[in-house]
Amino acid sequence: MPGLIDDIAGLRNSRVWRSVFRSGSGESNLHRSLAVQQNVFLHLASVKVRRRVLKFSATWYLGTLSLGCFLILITTGILLMLYYHPSVPQAYADMKDLQFVVSAGVFLRNLHRWSAHAMVLLVFAHLFKVFYRGAYRPPREFNWVIGVVLLMLTLFLSYTGYLLPWDQLAFWAITVGSNILAAVPVLGAKIRFLILGGHTVNANALLRFYVLHCVILPLVTVLFVAIHFWRIRKDGGLYVKEKTDDRN
């Protein structure tokens, strides 16, 4: 056992290791801080957190769970893209293929679908939790705005994904939704035309929704998630109540 630990220590001092993790392996707080800050994957995480904010009751882990859903959605979404053609004759047939002949196709699609539902639910819950805890107050007011934008992005992702199965439910849901858009004063009809690429839900709408759902909205969401996390650090970490409240 001591031999193994020595080996690991030796590995961490090796040239290759040091070329990847430049911070070295010191035990000091500076070393630890550097290990986090100088790593592209870890640098969004705090160097130090209060023990209290890690408790379940502090956040109910809602933000993390939302992120987890988002990662599942990206993974399953990419796999679904391998089987899906955004074309009128093929889209619904591809759903049927997923259901009937693709190995684990039903599982894949259901995982995507339920994760999407869960994500909408979790993001809403996250916002409520933040709101009722008062965590939106300065200095976090800008991050609250980012959060609201992320909620909107989540909803748009959900809405654009709804059309892709190209079944009756999809068609009419988007028809109704785009008609609601058309009720916007003055610009309504123009907005609908822009979204659908036409006056009715058709092949153009399917293509536009596909591009929005699979490329534009996910990229924008990733960007805003990054800003969101970064702001958490810059705004002083996760919100906790003042020490005066002795319940925590």
Residue 18 Cα distances to 9, 10, 23, 120, angstroms: 12, 11, 7, 42
Number of residues located near another protein, criterion CB under 8 A: 12
Task: Using CB under 8 A, pick the residue from 72, 97, 127, 191 that binds another protein.
Answer: 97
Q: What is the DSSP string of 144-187?
A: HHHHHHHHHHHHHHHHHHHHTT-SHHHHHHHHHHHHHHHTSTTT
Residue 69 Cα distances to 7, 19, 109, 117, 245, angstroms: 38, 33, 14, 9, 33
Are 202 and 196 a contacting pair, CB within 8 Å? Answer: yes
Smallest gap, in angstroms, from Cβ of residue 100 to another protein? 4
Residue 1 Cα distances to 4, 14, 208, angstroms: 5, 20, 59
Cα angle for residues 110, 203, 98 (degrees, 5° grid):
25
* Residue 167 found at the interface with another protein (CB under 8 A): yes
Binding mask 112-141 for another protein (x = CB under 8 A): ------------------------------
Smallest gap, in angstroms, from Cβ of residue 157 to another protein? 24
Structure tokens at 22: 């430049």
Nearer to another protein, 14 or 90 (CB): 90
Task: Using CB under 8 A, pick the residue from 89, 242, 244, 247 that binds another protein.
Answer: 89
Helix axes 105-133, 88-100, angle to 10 degrees: 100
Smallest gap, in angstroms, from Cβ of residue 101 to another protein? 5
Contact range with another protein by CB under 8 A, out of 68-76, 91-99, 152-160, 210-218: 91-99
Task: Using CB under 8 A, pick the residue from 7, 107, 148, 198 that binds another protein.
Answer: 107
Are 91 and 164 a contacting pair, CB within 8 Å? Answer: yes
Contact range with another protein by CB under 8 A, out of 57-65, 76-84, 88-96, 176-184: 88-96
Nearer to another protein, 68 or 197 (CB): 68
* Residue 101 found at the interface with another protein (CB under 8 A): yes
Residue numbers of the site for another protein (CB under 8 A)?
89, 93, 96-97, 99-101, 103-104, 106-107, 167
